[in-house]
Amino acid sequence: MALLELQNLQKHFGKTQVLRDLSLQVEEGQFVTLLGPSGCGKTTTLRIVAGLTDPDGGDVLLEGRSMLRLPPEKRELNTVFQNYALFPHMNVEKNVAYALRLMGMSARQRAARVAEMLKLVQMEGYEKRMPDKLSGGQRQRIAIARAVAPGRKLLLLDEPLGALDLKLRRQMQEEIKGLQKELGIAFLYITHDQEEALNMSDRIGILHEGRLEQLGTPEEIYERPTSRFAAEFIGQSTLLPCRVLAVGTEGMTLEFAGQKLPARATAGFRAGDEALVCLRNERVACLSPEAAAEASLPGTLVSRHYAGGSVRYVIELDAGPRVVCVAPSAGDAAFRPGQRVRAGWNPRETAVVR
C-alpha cells in the first residue's frame, strides 16, 4: 500500500480547470517531485494534500485512509511553505516547537526535540533569533526544521528553494536530499526547476495543464519522454517532424524531408503516423559531410559559440529546420560557419514522441 495516494483529483477555479483526473502514488521513504511550469496545478495539488484547498472530485488517501474530511491540523503530514511562513512574532525555538507544544510534549521533551532539529539543519545556537534577523537560507532551514519536528512520515515542500540565489540553491538541493535520506521519510516536492527535479528525486511527475503527462525516474523522464510536452520541457532539444514508414521489432523507419531515418522502437506508433524525433542538444554531433553515422542529416553550419567546457553549433538542415548541437570543447573539430556539415545522432538514444 502506498503511503500517499491521489485518486482522480479534479479542481476548478471558476471556469478554469486546474486539475484533471490527477492520480499519483508516493511510497514510504520516496522522494517524489511534481514538476511543471507555473499554473500547471502543482501547488493546488499540494494544497489539496495538505487540506488547505478542497478538490471538486477524487480522493486523497494517506496509508489507505481518505483524508478529505480531515481539516489540515488532523492530517499527519507537514508542509514547508514557499515563502517559509515562519511566524514573525516567535523566535526560532518557538517556531520549531509550535507543533510539539500542540502535540502535548513536555517542556523538556520539546527542548530536546528542538535542539535535535536545529542540529539536523545545522542551525544550533539560533534558538533565540527572530525570523526577520535570519538570511533567506537560514529561514529555509528553520522552515524545514519546523515541518519535520513533529516526525510525520510525509513532508510536502512547495518550491522551497524558489527565493534563493543559484549557488545557495545548488547547496540546499544537496542538503535537502541528504536530509530526506537521513530521516527516511517521504517527500512530495514541488518545483518548476527541472535541474532541481532531476538532481533530487526518486520519481518525477510532469504536470501540464492539470494533467500528469508522465511519471517516472529521472532517467526515464529524460531518456524516454512520452509526450511532446515532456520532451520539450525537460532538457534542451530540437523536435524534427517525421512520418513513420515502417515499424519493426528492432526499430522503426521514419521519413524526414524525403530521407529515411532509423529510430528506436516506440510503443504506440504505426506506419503512416506523424512523429517527432527529439534531438537532445548534447546528443547531436556536428560531423563533416562525409562522416558516417547511424542517423544523420546534411546541412550548413550557421554559427559556432565557444562556451568554456562546451561548444554550441547551430546547423541549418537542407530541409529547413535548425538543429542545435552542444559538444564538449575538448577534441572539438572547430567547424566554421558557412561550412557544409552533417548533424548525426544515435537512434537508440533518441526518443520519438507524438
Partner 1 sequence: MRRKRVGSALFLAVMLVMLYLPVAVVVLYSFNANTSRFTFAFTGFSTQYYQGLLHDTKGLVSALMTSLELAAYSCGLSLVIGTLGALGLAGAQMRGKGAVETLSLLPVMIPEIILGFALMAVFTFAGVKNDMVKLVIAHVTFCVPYIYLVVKARLTGMDPSLNEAARDLGAGPVRAFFSVTLPLILPGVLSGTLLAFAMSLDDFVISFFVSDTTVTLPLKIYSSVKTGVSLQVNALCSVMLATVAIAVALSKLLSRKKEPGEMKNEE
Residue ranges binding partner 1 (CB under 8 A): 50-52, 71-73, 78-79, 81-83, 85-90, 98-99, 102-103, 130-132, 136, 146-147, 150, 163
Comparison of 82 and 199: residue with beta carbon closer to partner 1:
82
Closest to partner 1 by CB, 72 vs 262, is 72
Angle at 222 between CA 60 and CA 288, to 5 degrees: 165
Of the two residues 6 and 231, which places its CB atom closer to partner 1 in the complex?
6
Give whichever of 103 and 120 is closer to partner 1, judged by the CB atom. Answer: 103
CA distance 166 to 193: 11
Could you tell me the smallest distance in angstroms from the CB atom of residue 243 to partner 1? 50
Least distance to partner 1, CB of residue 271, Å: 53
Residue with cell 508516493: 26
Minimum CB separation of residue 205 from partner 1 in Å reads: 22
Nearer to partner 1, 120 or 163 (CB): 163
- Residue 122, sorted as left (phi over 0), alpha (psi -120 to 50) or beta, turns out to be left
Q: What Å distances lie between residue 297 and 192, 293, 341, 343, CA to CA?
A: 34, 9, 9, 5
Q: Please report how close the Cβ of residue 144 comes to partner 1 at its closest, in angstroms.
A: 13
Residue 65 Cβ, how far from partner 1 at the closest point, in Å?
18
With respect to partner 1, which residue has the nearer C-beta, 74 or 336?
74
Using CA atoms, how far apart are residues 281 and 231, in angstroms rounded to an integer? Answer: 12
Map residue 146 onto helix, strand or coil: helix
Least Å distance, CB 273 to partner 1, is: 47
Cβ 218 to partner 1 shortest distance, Å: 28
For residue 345, the one-letter residue type is W
Q: Compute CA distances 219 → 182, 234, 238, whole Å.
A: 23, 11, 19
The answer for residues whose C-beta is within 8 angstroms of residue 241's C-beta and 6 or more apart is: 256, 274, 275, 276
Alpha carbons 170 and 119: distance in angstroms, whole number? 21
Nearer to partner 1, 140 or 350 (CB): 140
Pairing of strands 285-287, 340-345: antiparallel
